[in-house]
Amino acid sequence: MTEPSTDRRVALKARHRQAIVDAAAALIAETGGLRFTIDDLARRADVSRRTVFNHFASVDDIVAEVFGDVIGTLVASYERESAASPAAPGTDVDGRAVVFGELDRAVRSTDLVAPMAFLTQSLRSHDEHSPAIATVLLRVLDAARGRLAAAVLARHPRADVLDVHLLVNAVVSGVLVLHRHWDAATGAVDDEPSRAVWAALVDRLLDRTGHGFAADHPATT
């Protein structure tokens, strides 16, 4: 008799959490940043202020989840691109070259400029001198790193686990480094010149990373 009640509580908790995240995304878009209070957020989500803090310890936690959903499209891009481009016959389908090629295509095909511009401008409007931009982006990308590594290993169960984690870490951490250079060069705007800068930076990241992972050779011990 207790299981249905527990299930309802779990479902209600999940609905409340998603309502808060959806409300935060809407308010960020409407106000052009973090120009809203926890009370505004609670009203928009139709929950109490206490419920907001039961789910999230801070506004940064909420923002990280909002943008985690957006940047999480990298995982979907990986799954789509890897399924659409099977390895050639005779290729080691779980080899580093194949895995790197799939990640290369996923990063190039994912629109990271729009969510990064939105995130950067939103947080900067809240406090231009706050380190929150890098902190939140790091948290978002860290979550994406775990999800992406899991997706790669699910597709390539015979791949070397350490190689997969090293590769995913190199690519995702590289995106964080690129963000700093891209922001400094473009002001984190979303326009064609900014996208050209981002594309050139991505080319450099994948070129440098590819030298270590795009060729299959015995690992040294």
Q: Domains of the chain (ranges plus CATH)?
A: 2-56 (1.10.10.60), 63-213 (1.10.357)
Alpha-carbon distance of 155 to 85, in angstroms, equals 13
Determine the length of the chain: 221
Q: Which pLDDT does position 141 carry in this prediction?
A: 75
Cβ contacts of 126 within 8 Å, gap of 6 or more: 33, 34, 35, 132
Structural contact between residues 97 and 215, judged by C-beta atoms closer than 8 angstroms: yes
Q: Which pLDDT does position 167 carry in this prediction?
A: 92
Alpha-carbon distance of 168 to 148, in angstroms, equals 7
pLDDT values of the chain reduced to their tens digit, one per residue, 221 residues: 455 677 888 899 999 999 999 999 888 878 777 778 899 999 999 999 999 999 998 887 888 788 776 666 788 888 888 887 777 676 788 888 888 999 999 999 989 898 888 878 777 765 554 556 667 777 777 777 888 999 999 999 999 999 999 999 999 889 889 988 999 999 999 999 999 999 999 999 999 988 877 665 554 44
Structural contact between residues 108 and 101, judged by C-beta atoms closer than 8 angstroms: no
Structural contact between residues 204 and 108, judged by C-beta atoms closer than 8 angstroms: no
Ramachandran area for residue 215 (φ above 0: left; ψ -120 to 50: alpha; else beta)? beta
Q: Which pLDDT does position 217 carry in this prediction?
A: 52
Predicted TM-score of the model (pTM)? 0.74
∠ at Cα 142 (99, 170), nearest 5°? Answer: 40
3 CB-contact burial (10 Å; exposed 0-12 / middle 13-18 / buried 19+) = exposed
Q: Which pLDDT does position 43 carry in this prediction?
A: 95
Q: Which pLDDT does position 129 carry in this prediction?
A: 47
Q: Which pLDDT does position 63 carry in this prediction?
A: 80
Total Cβ atoms within 10 A of residue 206: 21
Residues 138, 71, 88, 211, Cα dihedral to 10°: -30
Q: Which pLDDT does position 191 carry in this prediction?
A: 95
Which stretch of DSSP H or E encloses residue 34? none
Q: Which pLDDT does position 94 carry in this prediction?
A: 83
Q: Which pLDDT does position 220 carry in this prediction?
A: 45
